Amino acid sequence: MNRLAPLALALAALFLPLTSSAADPVVPAGQALIFTSFRGNGDDGLHLATSRDGYAWTPLNGDRPVFRPKVGGGLVRDPNIVQGPDGTFHMVWTTGWTHPAVGYASSKDLLHWSDARQVEVMQGEKPRNVWAPELFYDDKEGRFLIFWASTIPGRFPEGEKTGDDGYNHRTYFTTTKDFLTFTPSKLFYDPGFNSIDSTIVRDGDRYAMFIKDETRTPPAKNIRVAFADAPAGPYGPPSPPITGAYWAEGPSAIKLGDRWFVYFDKYMDHRYGLVTSPDLVDWTDESDRVSFPPDFRHGTVLLVSDSILAGLESAGR
């Protein structure tokens, strides 16, 4: 037996982790990932999970809710959190299946929250619903965009028979600088089909909107992406599906290292999925690598400081 073989094997073993981890996501030093979610129908409040690598997620606070607001329709579904320039976390959520408003609250540490209130975002309209509101901070304009999906009966008659139960959604939006006054709501994006669950990220000088094609007949139910030169658009035509054939919703995107991670709710499989991309064009399905708490439902991912995470972990002990 070659006496150098054991040494060679030992040296190779030392370098294997370096080789495999080089392609793994890079979470910035001093920060951690947090993911918002709800459980069941959204009756019990806001749940949080954390990860250090973007793949393995563990629940915080013993998977008990950290916030239990009861406004509007009384539910907390699709919770979305964005941190503003002053460090304040702002959250919006779906309060009910047919309630025409969004829930809103703010926090400095994700533990202690302001009183929840509802924001009537569709004044002057008669929508069937206000679903999956999301926030994006426009640093150039110094304002927050709030956008969501609504069905306004008769507004887009050509697509009324393509959705579930007569729903035919489009994305609407309003803007605010203080969450007290809001601009009149307007149509935000019409991709030409029934669509929900939009979310926006900045990619250099452009902006990407991920959105679910909610078409039921023929079935689509997948995630697509469109691009714009400004957060408020106009956004171009949507891409082909990035999440496979169908049954995906609730996308949430973040860039880790040199790759984009887009998480989504594989709701028919009762689990979460993941696709990654270096350029928002070519996608790799890595759903088999991710693990989430049981019954993890439509939420959003964000980076927070280690001190925020430490506070959340201490509160759960």
Tokens of 182: 């809001």
Kindly report, residue by residue over 158-190, the tens digit of the pLDDT: 877 777 888 999 999 999 999 999 999 999 999
Tokens of 297: 């439902």
pLDDT band at 25 (very low <50, low <70, confident <90, very high): low
Alpha helices in 69-124 (DSSP H): none
What is the rounded average pLDDT for all residues in the chain? 91
What is d(CA 121, CA 182) in angstroms, rounded to the nearest whole number? 8
**What pLDDT is stored for residue 24 in this prediction?**
62
Least reliable range by pLDDT among 81-95, 155-169, 227-241, 269-283: 155-169
pLDDT band at 2 (very low <50, low <70, confident <90, very high): very low
Break the chain into its structural domains and give their ranges.
Answer: 33-315
What is d(CA 77, CA 96) in angstroms, rounded to the nearest whole number? 8
Which residues on neighbouring strands pair with residue 149, listed in sequence order?
131, 171
Q: Is the pLDDT of residue 203 over 50?
A: yes
**What pLDDT is stored for residue 23 in this prediction?**
52
What is d(CA 19, CA 8) in angstroms, rounded to the nearest whole number? 16
Q: Is the pLDDT of residue 17 over 70?
A: no
Average pLDDT over residues 79-92: 98
Tell me if the pTM is above 0.95.
Answer: no
pLDDT band at 9 (very low <50, low <70, confident <90, very high): very low
Kindly report, residue by residue over 238-268, the tens digit of the pLDDT: 999 999 878 999 999 999 999 999 999 999 9
What is d(CA 187, CA 234) in angstroms, rounded to the nearest whole number? 11
Give domain 33-315's CATH architecture. 5 Propeller (2.115)
Query: CB-based burial of residue 16 (10 Å sphere; 0-12 exposed, 13-18 middle, 19+ buried)?
Result: exposed
Give percent of the chain above pLDDT 90.
85
DSSP 231: T
